Amino acid sequence: MVVWLGQSDNLATLGGKSAQLSRLFMRYPIPSGFCLPTDVFEEWVAQGSPGQLPAPWQAAVADAYQQLSDAVQLDPLPVAVRSSAVDEDGQRASFAGQYESFLNICGVEALFTAILSCWHSAFAERVQRYRRGVQTPLAVLVQQLVPADMAMVAFSRHPLTRSPEVVINAVWGLGQGLVDGSVTPDTYVVSPDQTLVQRTIGAKETMVVRFAAGIKQVPTPRSMRGLAVLSEAQIQEVAQLARRLEGEMGWPVDVEAAYWQNRLYLLQCRPITA
């Protein structure tokens, strides 16, 4: 019932987001995690989309969650619970923000609820409009949460011109405010020879932080708003990561990443789409 990152990169089984991360897991700093594959979602739908996980499924998820907690020696372990549809994060469309994802989920009961919410999001009105009524199987990815000090999105090519410049947007805290557009980020542009050719400091009036068993958006301390989120060395490291991933994947990439305790983590890798 559970597939661990690094065990398989089967798109039909893991969905786009999980398959890409699983493919890269052994070679990149990706948080450990496991996936509930698409056949579990399809079985849930066949059972009439019950309001709770069947007891055997609860046991399997609880066991995997405990294994993940034991591996990092933290109990209860905060996790990110993310939807991963079969045609998500593909060459033609990313479906970014269409399905539900949850950060800082702690404990098995909260995990069960988050998984069900991800599955239910496949039937949300916004998803149906986006898909024009076409349904697709959905996997769910459960990963150790990176409690980011700063988060970023990096494009290995300029997303508008497709010129060979890495464009990085970065914010303080977790990346939710960056991906949903609610925080004005810093922008850094790095040329093909790794020269920083543009540094624009964003307003960053707010930041997303962990709070109890969830997240919340709070005012950024005034002393941090005018500061560059990333140092020169970090900008170079993120740009190099984006270029390395483009070379490995064979297409321009849109990368989500985060720094925590001065270590860079890769959270998502997908093609740049229009």
Boundary of a domain, candidates 129, 144, 159: 144
Longest dimension (CA), the chain: 56
Residue span of the structural domain in which 106 resides: 3-144
**What's the number of domains the chain is made of?**
2
pLDDT in tens, 174-227: 999 999 999 999 999 999 999 999 999 999 999 999 988 789 999 999 999 999
Q: Is residue 72 located within the same domain as residue 103?
A: yes
Which amino acid is residue 58, in one-letter code?
A: Q
Q: Is residue 41 located within the same domain as residue 70?
A: yes
pLDDT for the residue numbered 95: 47
Ordered per-residue pLDDT tens for the chain, 274 residues:
999 999 999 999 999 999 999 999 999 999 999 999 999 999 999 999 999 999 999 999 999 999 999 998 888 899 999 999 987 654 454 445 568 899 999 999 999 999 999 999 888 776 555 545 556 789 999 999 999 999 999 999 999 999 999 999 999 999 999 999 999 999 999 999 999 999 999 999 999 999 887 899 999 999 999 999 999 999 999 999 999 999 999 999 999 999 999 999 999 999 998 6
CATH number, domain with residue 232: 3.30.470.20
Contact 57, 40 (CB under 8 A): yes
β pairing state of 138-144 and 79-85: antiparallel
Structure tokens at 228: 């560059």
Q: What is the DSSP letter of 221?
A: P
d(CA 87, CA 35): 16
Q: Is residue 243 located within the same domain as residue 114?
A: no
Minimal CA–CA distance to 86: which of 4, 12, 28?
Answer: 12
Q: Is residue 154 located within the same domain as residue 126?
A: no
> DSSP 3-state assignment of 202?
coil
pLDDT in tens, 89-103: 544 544 455 688 999
Boundary of a domain, candidates 92, 112, 144: 144
Peptide bond into 76 cis (omega under 30): yes
Q: Is residue 158 located within the same domain as residue 250?
A: yes
